[in-house]
């Protein structure tokens, strides 16, 4: 089984990058890849509970992350969470927190890395 690491560095609104990262990770997972989605920088905001997209024209991705967490591993970077004043209770179900070791291991094991 091939390993795919998807790194999301962009916030969930304003561009399609967050939606594309989630879509690619989910697609790889359903195609028998071992997919890992890693949220870093403003990408951690994608996992925030109870988001209201308002009139941005974008859809919140929290529900998608919750569904995908049963099929793949999803991590949020601890330092980025601190930067955006978020903690574990602020995140949707299934998102784990990493302070570095998981990302390093995922980078070593990945046959492909996609950065959004």
Residue 71 near residue 31 (C-beta atoms within 8 A) = no
Domains parsed from the chain with CATH numbers: 3-115 (3.40.1260.10)
Neighbours of 33 (CB within 10 A): 18
For the stretch 29-88, pLDDT in tens is: 888 889 999 999 999 999 999 887 667 766 778 888 998 998 999 999 999 999 999 999
Q: What is the pTM of this model?
A: 0.92
The closest alpha carbon to 83, from 5, 1, 11, 4, belongs to 11
For 24, counting Cβ atoms within 10 Å of its Cβ (0-12 exposed, 13-18 middle, 19+ buried), the class is middle
* Structure token digits, residue 32: 């028998």
The DSSP secondary structure of 59-97, one letter per residue, reads: ---HHHHHHHTTTSEEEEEHHHHHHTT--GGGBPTTEEE
pLDDT confidence tier of residue 18, bands split at 50, 70 and 90: very high
* Structure token digits, residue 26: 């989910």
């Amino acid at each position: 089984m091939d390993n795919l690491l998807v790194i999301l560095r962009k916030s969930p609104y304003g561009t399609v990058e967050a939606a594309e990262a989630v879509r690619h990770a989910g697609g790889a997972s359903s195609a028998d890849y071992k997919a890992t989605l890693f949220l870093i920088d403003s990408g951690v905001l994608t996992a925030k509970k109870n988001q209201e997209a308002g009139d941005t024209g974008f859809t919140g991705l929290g529900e998608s992350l919750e569904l995908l967490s049963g099929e793949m591993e999803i991590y949020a970077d601890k330092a980025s969470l601190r930067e955006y004043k978020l903690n574990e209770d602020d995140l949707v179900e299934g998102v784990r927190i990493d302070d570095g070791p998981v990302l390093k291991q995922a980078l070593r094991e990945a046959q492909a890395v996609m950065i959004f």
